[in-house]
């Protein structure tokens, strides 16, 4: 298994055997974003997806909880932000780098997610990069929703909205309305090709449509916490959308010209997109995700 696929398997899995090692050298960086909202991101290694924290008079709400091996470090950072009670954890989707801490945090907090997140955590998940085992009952969201829900906490309405069949079939995006902050989950990998989990109901075409819908909802001065990458702006997100549209159009034009997937992968993408292969997903994999999405 090549390096990027091996890392992707770790990203998807929440296996305790995998999570027990490899986090000693990783720290968390805390950034105050706006209002009551903070961002936690791993430094010195792959801790998992970015975390949003709402902290105030009503307690603490987390968006995503990284891998289980980061649990104690997250708790330590929360104490530095606010000594209040952790009340809610929202999962933007089921992947282990965003929900791996559920079983531990659920001892003190309520887990909330789209209904498909609960379904996928309850059963083994198989895809092109490996198998993720079913998770224990403590890891399952206690509250689920279909289209949206709102939590009124720390002086603002926090909207949790489902965007279907994008990264997976259970993606939720979190809007901190008064603070003007949005956590996109894995509907945003900053300046990098995204992983789209086709085996979990994801699709590049609807993913791109969801990103455009999110852009249309965002004010110009919004602050964006992406699933992966640094704190971002609307311009960063528009650049990401441009990549999605342009690379999809390129692959579509090649398929219409009669090229096979392998031939398109050998040709690669135009030079302007070469730097976007610096993340988990390399050019050949991204072309494959587009090609399969177009064919579905």
pLDDT of residue 127: 74
pLDDT of residue 12: 56
Any idea which of 65-74, 208-217, 252-261 has the lowest mean pLDDT? 65-74
Q: Among 226, 251, 252, which residue's Cα sits nearest to residue 239?
A: 226
CA 162/CA 170 separation, integer angstroms: 7
pLDDT higher than 70, residue 49: yes
Mean model confidence pLDDT for the chain:
93
Helices (H), the chain: 3-12, 16-19, 71-81, 96-99, 102-105, 115-121, 204-217, 234-256, 261-267, 283-295
Q: Average pLDDT, stretch 81-94?
A: 94
pLDDT of residue 11: 54
Note the pLDDT tens digit of each residue in 165-207. 999 999 999 999 999 999 999 999 999 999 999 999 999 999 9
pLDDT of residue 7: 53
pLDDT of residue 4: 53
Note the pLDDT tens digit of each residue in 7-21. 554 555 544 434 445
pLDDT higher than 60, residue 78: yes
Q: Among 114, 88, 85, 89, which residue's Cα sits nearest to residue 100?
A: 89
CA 33/CA 275 separation, integer angstroms: 27
Give residues with Cβ within 8 angstroms of 59, minimum separation 6: 84, 85, 86, 87, 153, 154
144 by Cβ neighbours in 10 Å (0-12 / 13-18 / 19+) ranks as middle
Dig out the tokens for 21 from the structure: 């090692």
User: Distance of CA 215 to CAs 205, 236, 248, Å?
Assistant: 16, 11, 18
pLDDT of residue 16: 41
Can you say whether the dihedral through the CA atoms of 245, 202, 64, 15 is positive or negative? negative
Rounded to a whole number of angstroms, the CA Rg of the chain reads: 18
Q: Go through the domains of the chain in sequence order and give each one's CATH number.
A: 3-239 (3.60.15.10)
CA 170/CA 159 separation, integer angstroms: 16
This prediction's pTM: 0.94
Three-state secondary structure call for residue 224: strand
pLDDT higher than 70, residue 259: yes
DSSP code at position 21: S
250 by Cβ neighbours in 10 Å (0-12 / 13-18 / 19+) ranks as middle
């Amino acid at each position: 298994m090549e390096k990027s696929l091996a890392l992707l398997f770790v990203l998807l899995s929440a296996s305790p055997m995998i999570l027990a090692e490899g986090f000693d050298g990783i720290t968390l960086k805390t950034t105050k974003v706006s209002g009551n909202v903070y961002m936690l991101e791993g430094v010195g290694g792959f801790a998992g997806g970015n975390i949003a924290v709402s902290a105030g008079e009503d307690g603490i709400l987390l968006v995503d909880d990284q891998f289980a091996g980061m649990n104690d470090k997250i708790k330590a950072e929360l104490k530095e932000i606010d000594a209040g009670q952790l009340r809610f954890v929202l999962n933007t989707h089921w992947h282990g780098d965003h929900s791996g801490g559920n079983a531990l945090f659920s001892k003190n907090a309520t887990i909330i997610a789209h209904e498909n997140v609960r379904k996928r955590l309850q059963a083994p998940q198989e895809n092109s990069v490996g198998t993720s085992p079913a998770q224990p009952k403590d890891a399952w969201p206690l509250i689920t929703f279909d289209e949206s829900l709102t939590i009124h906490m720390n002086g603002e309405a926090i909207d949790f909205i489902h965007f279907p069949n994008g990264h997976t079939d259970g993606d939720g995006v979190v809007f901190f309305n008064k603070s003007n902050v949005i956590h996109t989950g894995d509907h945003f990998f900053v300046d990098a090709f995204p992983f789209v989990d086709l085996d979990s109901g994801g699709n590049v075409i609807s993913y791109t449509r969801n990103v455009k819908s999110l852009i249309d909802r965002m004010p110009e001065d919004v602050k964006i916490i992406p699933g992966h990458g640094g704190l971002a702006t609307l311009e960063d997100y528009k650049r990401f959308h441009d990549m999605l549209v342009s690379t999809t159009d390129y692959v579509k034009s090649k398929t219409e010209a009669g090229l096979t997937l392998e031939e398109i992968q050998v040709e690669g993408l135009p030079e302007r997109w070469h730097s976007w292969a610096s993340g988990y997903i390399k050019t050949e994999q991204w072309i494959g995700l587009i090609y399969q999405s177009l064919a579905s």
